[in-house]
Amino acid sequence: MIRINDATELCITKGQEAIIVGWNGFIGDHRQKVLETLFVKLINPPRNVELPGLPVNVVPMSRTSSTVKALLPNDHIVTLTQQQIMVLPKFSMTDYATQGKT
Which pLDDT tens digit goes with each residue over 37-46?
Answer: 999 999 989 8
pLDDT, residue 6, reads: 76
pLDDT higher than threshold 70 for residue 94 = no
- Banded model confidence at residue 95, pLDDT cuts 50, 70, 90: low
pTM passes above 0.75: no
pLDDT, residue 86, reads: 80
Cα separation of the two ends of the chain: 16
pLDDT higher than threshold 90 for residue 5 = no
Q: 25 pairs with which residues across the strands?
A: 35
CA-to-CA distance for 66 and 78, rounded, in angstroms?
A: 14
CA-to-CA distance for 22 and 60, rounded, in angstroms?
A: 9
CA-to-CA distance for 56 and 41, rounded, in angstroms?
A: 8
| Contact predicate 72/78, CB 8 Å | yes
pLDDT, residue 96, reads: 58
pLDDT higher than threshold 70 for residue 15 = yes
